[in-house]
Amino acid sequence: MATIRTAGTPPNGRGSDRSRFNRSRHRKGATTRGSALLMVLWISAALAAVAFSLANTVRGETDRTSTSLDEVRGYYLAAGAVDRAAVELLWSVSSPEKRRIKQGSASVDYTFPTGVAHVELIPETAKLDVNTVLPDRLMRLVTALGVEPGTAMEITHGILARRGGAGGAPSLPPGPSFPGPGASLQEVEELLSVRGITPEVFYGTYIPVQGDPGRGEPRLIRRNGLVDCLSVFGSRNQVDANTADPAVLSAIGLTPGGVQLLLQQRRMAPLTPERLGQLVPMLGPAGQMLRLEGNSILTIRATAQVRLPNGQLSDMKRTVAALVKYMPPSYPTPIHILRWYDTTWSN
Check whether residue 218 and residue 137 sit in a common domain: yes
pLDDT band for position 249 (cuts 50, 70, 90):
very high
Task: Please tell me the distance from the alpha carbon of residue 228 to that of residue 345, in angstroms, as a whole number.
Answer: 10
Check whether residue 53 and residue 84 sit in a common domain: yes
Asked whether residue 305 is assigned to any structural domain, the reply reads yes
| pLDDT, tens digit, 9 for 90 and up, residues 267-286 | 998 899 999 999 999 998 99
Check whether residue 46 and residue 83 sit in a common domain: yes
pLDDT band for position 46 (cuts 50, 70, 90):
confident
Asked whether residue 198 is assigned to any structural domain, the reply reads yes
Asked whether residue 255 is assigned to any structural domain, the reply reads no
Across 171-186, average pLDDT:
55
The CA angle 272-230-163, to the nearest 5 degrees, is 140
Check whether residue 157 and residue 195 sit in a common domain: yes
Check whether residue 222 and residue 146 sit in a common domain: yes
Residue 286: CB atoms within 10 Å: 17
Residue 52 has pLDDT above 90, yes or no: no
The predicted pLDDT at position 250 comes to 95
Check whether residue 123 and residue 153 sit in a common domain: no
Spatial CB neighbours of 158, under 8 Å, sequence gap ≥ 6: 170, 171, 194, 195, 196, 197
128-129 and 230-231 as β-strands: parallel, antiparallel, unpaired? parallel
pLDDT band for position 167 (cuts 50, 70, 90):
very low
The predicted pLDDT at position 13 comes to 52
Q: What is the DSSP letter of 163?
A: T
Across 201-227, average pLDDT:
78
Across 140-165, average pLDDT:
91
Check whether residue 139 and residue 83 sit in a common domain: no
The predicted pLDDT at position 302 comes to 95
What sign does the dihedral 147-148-154-157 (CA atoms) show? positive
Asked whether residue 233 is assigned to any structural domain, the reply reads no
| pLDDT, tens digit, 9 for 90 and up, residues 234-247 | 998 899 999 999 99
How many angstroms separate the Cα of 153 from the Cα of each of 8, 158, 202, 281?
A: 115, 8, 15, 32
Spatial CB neighbours of 89, under 8 Å, sequence gap ≥ 6: 101, 121, 298, 300, 326
Across 252-259, average pLDDT:
94
As a whole-number percent, the residues of the chain with pLDDT over 90 amount to 49
Using DSSP's 3-state secondary structure scheme, residue 65 falls into helix
pLDDT band for position 197 (cuts 50, 70, 90):
very high
Check whether residue 75 and residue 120 sit in a common domain: yes
Asked whether residue 275 is assigned to any structural domain, the reply reads no
Check whether residue 117 and residue 156 sit in a common domain: no
Task: Please tell me the distance from the alpha carbon of residue 153 to that of residue 142, in angstroms, as a whole number.
Answer: 8
Higher-confidence residue of 165 and 16: namely 16
Give this prediction's pTM.
Answer: 0.72
The answer to whether 190 touches 181, Cβ cutoff 8 Å, is no
The predicted pLDDT at position 181 comes to 47
Check whether residue 213 and residue 149 sit in a common domain: yes
pLDDT band for position 106 (cuts 50, 70, 90):
confident
The answer to whether 321 touches 297, Cβ cutoff 8 Å, is no
Query: Three-state SS across 22-34?
Result: HHHHHHHHHHHHH
Using DSSP's 3-state secondary structure scheme, residue 52 falls into helix
Asked whether residue 271 is assigned to any structural domain, the reply reads no
| pLDDT, tens digit, 9 for 90 and up, residues 306-347 | 999 888 998 889 999 999 999 988 888 899 999 999 877 666
Domain count, the chain: 2
The answer to whether 291 touches 240, Cβ cutoff 8 Å, is yes
Spatial CB neighbours of 88, under 8 Å, sequence gap ≥ 6: 100, 101, 108
The predicted pLDDT at position 171 comes to 45
Higher-confidence residue of 69 and 321: namely 321
Short-list 270, 303, 81, CA closest to 89: 81
Higher-confidence residue of 180 and 42: namely 42
Check whether residue 188 and residue 142 sit in a common domain: yes
Beta bridge partners, 297, equal 325
Asked whether residue 136 is assigned to any structural domain, the reply reads yes
| pLDDT, tens digit, 9 for 90 and up, residues 91-100 | 887 777 777 8
| pLDDT, tens digit, 9 for 90 and up, residues 1-37 | 455 555 555 555 555 655 655 556 566 556 676 677 7
The answer to whether 292 touches 104, Cβ cutoff 8 Å, is yes
Q: Which domain holds residue 210?
A: 132-173+183-228
Asked whether residue 274 is assigned to any structural domain, the reply reads no
The predicted pLDDT at position 91 comes to 85
Q: What is the DSSP letter of 196?
A: T
Check whether residue 144 and residue 166 sit in a common domain: yes
